Amino acid sequence: MSEIGRTFGRRLFIMLNLASAALLLGHRAFKDAMLHPDELSISPKSVGMFRIYSVTSEMPKFDPKRWRLEVTGLVENPLFLGYPELLALKAIKQVSDFRCVTGWKVTNVLWEGVSVKTLLEKCGALKTARFVNFYSADGEYMDSLTLEQALAEDTLLAYRLKSLPLSREQGAPLRLVVPKMYGYKGVKWVNKIELTDALTLGYWEERGYSANAYLR
Amino acid sequence: MEERVQRFSLEERVAHWCHAVFTVLLLATGLSLYLPLLSAEIGNREILRSIHLLSAVGFILLPATALFRNREPLLKDVKRLETWEAEDFEWLMRSARNLLGSKLELPAQGKFTVGMKLNSVFTLTITIWLSVTGALILLNEMKPLQLQLAESAVFLHDLITFILIPVLLGHIAFALLYPEALRGMILGHVSAEYARKRHAKWVEGKQSDSSSIF
């Protein structure tokens, strides 16, 4: 039997493992080398596929006639907005990358909605308010930002994605978008915002995720 | 009474079936977490994620524990799996030509056919890299790593999963096509007739060891 034959299986195994290691370490560099930066800046295109995450067995259904957004807690004037009233607020557009902490991303996503700052200015945060909690209509999911993070210009409550109203899977009618943070901060199906003076850990943060979700 | 030939030890069979059950569980929960159509329908991400993580532990630890308890048959089989005789290369060449319409006779095979040898290398590689990339993804969730490494880990995890699916389906198809081979992995022994037909070189080598033929 030849030397190659005696260890052929092992050689095959080593080659496959080296190929896997090269893919792990080199796939991003390969992708970057394939993209021409000028093309990207001239016509930014959204690249990637959103994966759909939900922690309950059924996603909330959106009824435009019955839906309400409440902004309560440490505010001067609690707000209760219907869907048409939400749409009447000053809208802003934003193009940003969406990154999930599980490793996937979607680049150049066009969001449209109301900045959290606009809403909070409307209801007037009390001086004691330090945190802003965002609750999902699914009754389970929530997450929070500091007041400063919530007031950042790019912190958005989006109702349109890629020029279309949010789909049910994407959190219709309203989801939080925080481009500088991982996607688990982006509460979907938002129907309640509450200002507090103490930190409340979000759904995944209670299960080990970091409350500081800034991208690294 | 039908003559039988001992093929796999109890520990090898336990390791195989633990690995098989957990692979199916990992695949089912993984696809439910990954494919938007399924994840939107099923939801319950935390439960699916917990089952996926627990299955990953079983996927590695249970087969490893079973095999560690009785290493001798495993080491012999590893040696057989990594060794390619001249007949194995010949078998591969002739099979390729048969696929193109030739009708060449295939050389006798040992305990493991060429397909089984290839499958063992793929399975071991897939197990290692699903575990490594899975651990990186979990680590990233708990304490975010460098972005590029996290992206590459999820890319490779997905890629390997989609390679695994046809390999697994092929493995199951062959097991159903050769029920005696499947019985061998369940009971540990196969009929001597089947062994002589499919693994003639192996049976020849066993003639001196009367305890393994009963």
| Residue to test with chain B: of A51, A101, A102, A168, most B Cβ within 10 A | A102
Q: How many residues in total does chain B contain?
A: 214
Residues of A in contact with B146 (CB under 8 A): 216
Query: Which chain A residue has the Cα nearest residue B135?
Result: A102
How many CB pairs (< 8 A) connect A and B? 127
pLDDT in tens, B41-82: 899 999 999 999 999 999 888 888 888 888 888 888 889 998
Cβ pair B39:A55 closer than 8 A? no
Backbone angles phi, psi at A204, to 5 degrees: -80, -25
Backbone angles phi, psi at B147, to 5 degrees: -55, -45
Q: Chain A neighbours among B 137-156 (CB < 8 Å)?
A: 137, 140-156
| Residue to test with chain A: of B35, B112, B121, B122, most A Cβ within 10 A | B121
Residues of A in contact with B147 (CB under 8 A): 99, 215-216
What's the start-to-end Cα distance of chain A, in Å? 53
Cβ pair A16:B145 closer than 8 A? no
Residue-by-residue pLDDT tens, chain A, 216 positions? 566 677 888 899 999 999 999 988 888 776 666 655 444 444 456 677 899 999 999 999 999 999 999 999 999 999 999 999 999 999 999 999 999 988 888 999 999 999 999 999 999 999 999 999 999 999 999 999 999 999 999 999 999 999 999 999 999 999 999 999 999 999 999 999 999 999 999 999 999 888 889 987
B147: nearest CB among A24, A210, A216: A216
